[in-house]
Amino acid sequence: MALSFKVKAISRKRLIKNISLSFIFLFSVILILFSKSDYFFVNKFKSISNTYLHPITSFIVSPVKVASNLQTQFYEFRNLKIENKILKEEIMRLKKWQALAIHNSSENRVLKKLLNATNNDLSLVKTASILSRNDFLYSKMVIINAGLKDGIITEMAVINHRGLVGRTIDPSINNSKVLLLTDPNSSISVKTISNENHSILRGADDGIHLVSAFNKSEKMPKVGDLVVTSGSAQVFPADILVGKIVKVIKNNFYVLPFVDFKKIDYVQIVETK
Amino acid sequence: MLSKLLSSQIIIYHCILFFSFSLSVNYFVNLEIINYFAYVCFHLTLIYLFFYFFHFALIFLTFLYGIFFDIFLVDNISPHLITFLIFSVLFYFARKYLFNLSSIKISYIIIILSLLMFFSEALIANLLFNYPINYENFIWIFITFIIIFYPTLLLFSKIDKL
C-alpha cells in the first residue's frame, strides 16, 4: 500500500515537472513568435520590464556607476588645461559663425515672407536625460527619463546639439527607449547637402559608422559630403544633421555621425511643427 | 526540500547571478570591461548552478533571465531565451551522467559549454534579428573568460565550503 502510494507520488511529481516544462517551452515559442510579429503583448512585456526591473538593476549597480563617474571626472580634470585651450579657440570660431548665422537667419525670414513659404521648424516635445545605456554587445539603445506621460510615442526623432541621435521605441509611462542610429536595425532616409543624393542608412557592423543600404541615384556621393535627414520616410523631420561621408567602397558609402554616442547625457525629442 | 532550495550557498549564488545580470544590462562606457566580466560571470555561475545545485525551479529562473537579457540587450526575445532553455533542458536530462565525471572533466565541460553559449547567442541574434557577429566582442569575452575562469571556480569552491 505504502509502496504504491510512493510510486503514485513520484509519477505525479514527474508529470507536474513535464507539464511545467512543456508550458515553459510553449510560452517561449509564443513569446518568440510574438516578438517577431511585434505583437502588443510583447511590447507591454517590454514596457513593464523597463518600468519595474530596470530601476532595481540600476539601484544595484549604483556603486559601479559612481566609480565610473569618478573615473570620468578624474580624466576630465587631468585634461582640463588642454580642453580649456581648445574651447577658447572654439568660442572664437563659433562667434564668427554666429554672426554669419544671425545674418543668414534674418535673410531667410525675409525671403520666406516674400515667398509665402510654410515654416518647417521643429517643435520640442521634451528634453530628457539618459537613465541608462543598453548598447552593450547587440542592440544600440539608451533609456531616457521621458515617457507616455510626457507625450512621447514611438518613432519620434531624438536629437542633441550635434545632430540626430535616433528614434524612440517602446515608451512606457515614465521612460522610453531610444534606438540609436548606429544600431544595425535602425534605418534612416537621408540626402547629401551638395547634390541631394537620396539614400537609406543603417548602422554598420563596427557600431561606429553608418552604411548606405540603398542609394537612389547611380552616382555615388563624394567623401566629405554632409548628410542630413530627407524627411521622406515621415519618421524624422527633414534637414537634421546626421554626419559626414568618410569613405566610399564599391556601391556603399560610410558616414561618421556628428553625435558622439559615448558622450550623450541629454537629448531632445522633437517633431515637425 | 525548501531548505535545500534556500540554503545559504544557493542564496549567495543567486545574489551573484542577479548582480552580474544587473551589471551586464547597464552599460558603462568608461568601464566596459566590467560589463564583459559580469556577462561572463553570469554564464559561469549559471552553468555551475546547473552542475552542482540543480533544481527544477532553476529552469523557470533561466527562462526569466533569458527573457530579460533579450529585452535589455537585444530588444527582441529569442537569442538568450533559446540558448538558456536548450542548455537547461540538456542538463535536466543529462545530469545523471554528468554527476559521475571527475572535477577536471566538469571544468572542461564548463569551458566548452560557456563558449558554446556565447556563440549560439550571437548566432541566433544574427540569424533572427540581423545583428552582425562582432568578432571584437568575442575576443574580449574570450579574454575575460580566460582571466576569470579559474578565480571564479576557486571562489565558488570556497562558497561551497561555507
In Å, how far is B155's CA from the nearest CA of chain A?
Answer: 21
Say yes or no: A196 and A268 in one domain: yes
What was the pLDDT predicted at B5?
A: 54
- How large is the average pLDDT for residues B18-23? 93
**Cα–Cα distance between A144 and A155 in angstroms, integer?**
14
Average pLDDT, chain B: 87
pLDDT surpasses 60 at A152: yes
Whether B71 sits inside 8 A of A49 (CB atoms) is yes
Q: Are B74 and B80 spatial neighbours (Cβ–Cβ below 8 Å)?
A: yes
For chains A and B, CB pairs below 8 A equal 124
Q: Are A229 and A189 spatial neighbours (Cβ–Cβ below 8 Å)?
A: yes
In Å, how far is B154's CA from the nearest CA of chain A?
Answer: 24
pLDDT band at B3 (very low <50, low <70, confident <90, very high): low
Run of H or E including A159: strand A157-160
Nearest to A61 among B26, B32, B125 (CB): B26
Pairing relation of β-strands A176-180 and A198-203?
A: unpaired
Q: pLDDT, tens digit, for every residue of B21-63?
A: 999 988 888 888 899 999 999 999 999 998 888 888 888 899 9
A206, closest residue in chain B (CA to CA): B134
In Å, how far is A241's CA from the nearest CA of chain B?
Answer: 24
Final residue belonging to a domain, choices A73, A100, A116: A116
Structural domain count, chain A? 2
Nearest to A35 among B19, B56, B78 (CB): B78
pLDDT surpasses 80 at A172: yes
B80-101 exposure pattern, b = at least 16 Cβ within 10 A, e = fewer: bbbbbbebbeebeeeeeeeeee
Whether B25 sits inside 8 A of A134 (CB atoms) is yes
Residues of chain B in contact with residue A56, where contact means CB-CB under 8 angstroms, are 22
Q: How far are the Cα atoms of A1, A67, A209 from residue A265, in angstroms, in the given order?
A: 71, 17, 20
Say yes or no: A41 and A127 in one domain: no
Whether B26 sits inside 8 A of A207 (CB atoms) is no
pLDDT surpasses 90 at A79: no
Final residue belonging to a domain, choices A116, A136, A159: A116
What was the pLDDT predicted at A22?
A: 86
Interface confidence, given as ipTM, is 0.82
Residues of the domain holding A97: 1-116
Q: Are A258 and A228 spatial neighbours (Cβ–Cβ below 8 Å)?
A: no
Run of H or E including A226: strand A226-229
Say yes or no: A109 and A140 in one domain: no
**Among the listed residues B35, B39, B31, B85, the one whose alpha carbon sits nearest the alpha carbon of residue B58:** B85
Say yes or no: A6 and A111 in one domain: yes
Contacts of A232 by beta carbon, 8 Å cutoff, 6+ apart: A189, A198
Say yes or no: A130 and A110 in one domain: no
What was the pLDDT predicted at B17?
A: 92
In Å, how far is A72's CA from the nearest CA of chain B?
Answer: 7
Say yes or no: A128 and A227 in one domain: yes
Q: Are A71 and B30 spatial neighbours (Cβ–Cβ below 8 Å)?
A: yes
Which residues share a beta bridge with A267?
Answer: A128
Say yes or no: A253 and A138 in one domain: yes
pLDDT surpasses 70 at A162: yes
Say yes or no: A201 and A109 in one domain: no
Q: Domain holding A126: CATH number?
A: 2.40.10.340
pTM listed for this prediction: 0.83
Say yes or no: A10 and A49 in one domain: yes
In Å, how far is A246's CA from the nearest CA of chain B?
Answer: 21
What was the pLDDT predicted at B120?
A: 93
Q: Which three cell numbers stand for residue B93?
A: 536530462
Nearest to A28 among B28, B81, B125 (CB): B81
In Å, how far is A133's CA from the nearest CA of chain B?
Answer: 5
Q: Which three cell numbers stand for residue B71?
A: 529585452
pLDDT surpasses 60 at B1: no
What was the pLDDT predicted at B21?
A: 93
Q: Are A177 and A141 spatial neighbours (Cβ–Cβ below 8 Å)?
A: yes
Average pLDDT, chain A: 84
Nearest to B22 among A27, A57, A184 (CB): A57
Percent of chain A with pLDDT over 90: 14
Among A17-21, A71-75, A84-88, name the most confident range: A84-88
Say yes or no: A197 and A100 in one domain: no
pLDDT surpasses 60 at A1: no
pLDDT band at A117 (very low <50, low <70, confident <90, very high): low
Q: What are φ and ψ of residue A138, in 5° steps?
A: -105, -90
What was the pLDDT predicted at B119?
A: 92
Q: Picking from A22-26, A45-49, B125-129, B149-153, which range would have the lowest pLDDT averaged per residue? A: A45-49
Whether A57 sits inside 8 A of B25 (CB atoms) is yes
Q: pLDDT, tens digit, for every residue of A121-147?
A: 678 888 999 888 888 888 889 999 888
What was the pLDDT predicted at A120?
A: 60
Whether B30 sits inside 8 A of A141 (CB atoms) is no
Q: pLDDT, tens digit, for every residue of B56-92?
A: 888 889 999 999 999 888 888 889 999 999 998 888 8
Whether B134 sits inside 8 A of A207 (CB atoms) is yes
What was the pLDDT predicted at B77?
A: 86
Q: Are A51 and A175 spatial neighbours (Cβ–Cβ below 8 Å)?
A: yes
- How large is the average pLDDT for residues A78-93? 90
Residues of chain A in contact with residue B63, where contact means CB-CB under 8 angstroms, are 24, 27-28
Residues of chain A in contact with residue B22, where contact means CB-CB under 8 angstroms, are 56-58, 60-61
Residue B75 falls in which region: left (phi positive, over 0), alpha (psi -120 to 50) or beta: left
Say yes or no: A14 and A138 in one domain: no
Q: Are B47 and B113 spatial neighbours (Cβ–Cβ below 8 Å)?
A: yes
- How large is the average pLDDT for residues A178-203? 88
Final residue belonging to a domain, choices A91, A116, A141: A116
**Cα A81 to chain centroid, rounded:** 32
**Cα–Cα distance between B75 and B61 in angstroms, integer?**
19
For chain B, the straight-line distance linking the first and the last C-alpha, in angstroms and rounded, comes to 19
Say yes or no: A225 and A251 in one domain: yes
In Å, how far is A13's CA from the nearest CA of chain B?
Answer: 11
A73, closest residue in chain B (CA to CA): B30
Nearest to B59 among A24, A67, A169 (CB): A24
Q: pLDDT, tens digit, for every residue of A6-61?
A: 566 667 778 888 888 888 888 888 888 887 776 777 777 788 888 888 889 889 98
What was the pLDDT predicted at B20?
A: 94
**Cα–Cα distance between B149 and A56 in angstroms, integer?**
28
Residues of chain B in contact with residue A76, where contact means CB-CB under 8 angstroms, are none
Residues of chain B in contact with residue A262, where contact means CB-CB under 8 angstroms, are 29
